[in-house]
Structure 1
Amino acid sequence: MKKWILVLFAMLPSMAMAAAVSVPLDKANNDMSDQASLQNGAKLFMNYCFGCHAAQYQRYERVADDLGIPHDLMKENLIFDPEAKIGDLMVNAIPQTSAAAWFGAPPPDLTLVARVRGTDWLYTYLRAFYKDDSRPFGVNNYVFPSVGMPHVLEELQGIPEPVYQTKVVDGEEKQVVVGVKSDGTGELNQEEYDDAVRDLVNFLEYSGDPVKLERHTLGWWVMGFLVIFTIIVVLLKKEYWRDVH
């Protein structure tokens, strides 16, 4: 009985996350081995997200080294604080109390957001903003209704108009937002915007687990060693027991 109680408690976080998702999620299909994608994701993060959201568990230097960005280019193009050094943590200067007043809550640190939310959730969420004049920033989000965050990528996507579908909610037919369609005023077309969001999500996944690729590579080496070691042990066992039999 105790065993099953422990299993249930272990499952609660994932069950809560699953319950929070009320719309189908699109597959991010990002690739952490794509260095160009990670570099573009870092650029998008620093230009569009870092003004409000920190990545305080990362260092500029580590990001530059992992993503193949020379330190001088990192300092010139992706470090906006003139007082910051290449070895500093990636923190921003937005006052938390002011941010809470502006957005309703302090913007969360995004270092581990991909591990908490999942890449598919992030990919869908960043493409789910739609025009809603009733909201303080003029936008809403059908993945995260009543979101307090502005649509920071609007200049890339354009103004996203909501796409409605009739669904039965609480026993009544209602018009529900199930997607968005850009008005075409953005810098990118739909495919390019999806790719840009994928790059940003790719960077956020890297940020939450910088050693993932290294760990996977090391895992293959370990598996190879174990296979070779097993073969050697079997051959030795046969040699040692040959005289006995």
Structure 2
Amino acid sequence: MKNILKALLLACTLSSGVTIAADAVQYEKVDIDLGDQASLQRGAQTFVNYCLTCHSASAMRYNRLTDLGLTESDIEKNLMFTTDKVGDTMVSSMSKADAVAWFGAAPPDLSLIARSRGADYLYAYLRGFYKDPSRPTGWNNTVFDKVGMPHALWELQGIQEVELDEKGLPVMDEHGKPKLKWVSAGLRSTMDSNGQVDTAEYDAYAKDLVAYLVYMGEPAQIKRHQIGYLVLLFLFIVLLPLTYFLNKEYWKGIH
């Protein structure tokens, strides 16, 4: 019995250490508004155009996008490229064998990625890709070191590389991550980007995509929040006056 208790205590201690270590990593806060249907629609479009080629979302059906203000006709015309049935799940057309051959492992299903990783992590990840010739895909990531995924949005964001000091060593930021700078030869030269869009526009793309991933992790939460507001409104308008007058009637004979 003592050995079992010691094992449980050790497990709790180790899990606490892992939690503390994970919490020690701070990412920029991204403000996700699941009530912004336009943002969620743009995020769904980005997901279908850039992510669904490799990643599936097998827990999400296309027709569930009607919750975002889209009609089934809109979905069929603009968002369905891997199936012809609006009731099907979002499954990538790439086979697992091809994925393993090209990337070394099958890309993960993204249905619950926002619930497992968090919105702030995903936002930092989408903006953290940089050029790394030592990697098989030519890309690495400040959030996920030695990532196997290439930068699917590189044409939009542009190409970044690690900033080096005079000794040729990576310059680190306050979080111990390598600082990035824009590669001078890009698709388009601007003050803060060399991609098809500037930094602010790309950040908006990333935010919309993260918002959609958060929504996809629990599509019912929008309806759940709406029901919650109605319940609170009912309690305030109906039950609060009823409780007040009932309390007044109960105590009037005592005073």
TM bin, normalised by shorter chain, reads 0.7 to 0.9
Indicate which of 60, 66, 69 corresponds to 2:62.
Answer: 60
Query: SS in structure 1 opposite 2:77?
Result: helix
Listed one character per residue, the Cα deviations across residues 6-53 of structure 1 (whole Å, up to 9, x for unaligned) are 9x95x948x646524775311221221111111111111011100111
Listed one character per residue, the Cα deviations across residues 204-245 of structure 1 (whole Å, up to 9, x for unaligned) are 011112122222222222223333414412321321342355
For 2:252 and 2:138, locate their aligned partners in 1 and report how far apart those are by CA, in whole Å. Answer: 81
Report the alpha carbon displacement of residue 103 of structure 1 after superposing the two structures with TM: 1.8
Residue 187 of structure 1 is matched in structure 2 by 196
The TM-score, its normalising length taken from structure 2, stands at 0.80
Report the alpha carbon displacement of residue 72 of structure 1 after superposing the two structures with TM: 2.1
- Pick closer, same or farther for the CA change 1:145–1:17 going to 2, 3 Å: farther
Residue 119 of structure 2 is matched in structure 1 by 119
For 2:220 and 2:254, locate their aligned partners in 1 and report how far apart those are by CA, in whole Å. Answer: 49
For 1:128 and 1:241, locate their aligned partners in 2 and report how far apart those are by CA, in whole Å. Answer: 65
- Tell whether the 8 Å contact from 1:22 to 1:143 is kept in structure 2 after alignment: no
Give the counterpart letter for 2:46 in structure 1.
L
- After superposition, the CA RMSD in angstroms is 2.7
Listed one character per residue, the Cα deviations across residues 169-218 of structure 1 (whole Å, up to 9, x for unaligned) are xxxx9644533333452211111111110111011011112122222222
Structure with the greater relative contact order (CA < 8 A, sep ≥ 6): 1 or 2? 1
- Tell whether the 8 Å contact from 1:157 to 1:193 is kept in structure 2 after alignment: yes
The unaligned stretches of length 5 or more in structure 2 are 188-194
The unaligned stretches of length 5 or more in structure 1 are 167-172
Percent identity for Structure 1 against Structure 2: 45
Listed one character per residue, the Cα deviations across residues 118-143 of structure 1 (whole Å, up to 9, x for unaligned) are 00000001100100000001111111
Residue 70 of structure 1 is matched in structure 2 by 71
- Tell whether the 8 Å contact from 1:32 to 1:202 is kept in structure 2 after alignment: yes
The TM-score, its normalising length taken from structure 1, stands at 0.83
Residue 169 of structure 1 is matched in structure 2 by none
Residue 92 of structure 2 is matched in structure 1 by 92
**Greater mean deviation of Cα atoms: 132-141 or 179-188:** 179-188
Listed one character per residue, the Cα deviations across residues 34-77 of structure 1 (whole Å, up to 9, x for unaligned) are 111111111110111001111111110111x0122222232122
- Tell whether the 8 Å contact from 2:171 to 2:178 is kept in structure 1 after alignment: no
Query: SS in structure 1 opposite 2:151?
Result: coil
- Pick closer, same or farther for the CA change 1:74–1:18 going to 2, 3 Å: farther
Give the counterpart letter for 1:240 in structure 2.
Y
Residue 170 of structure 1 is matched in structure 2 by none
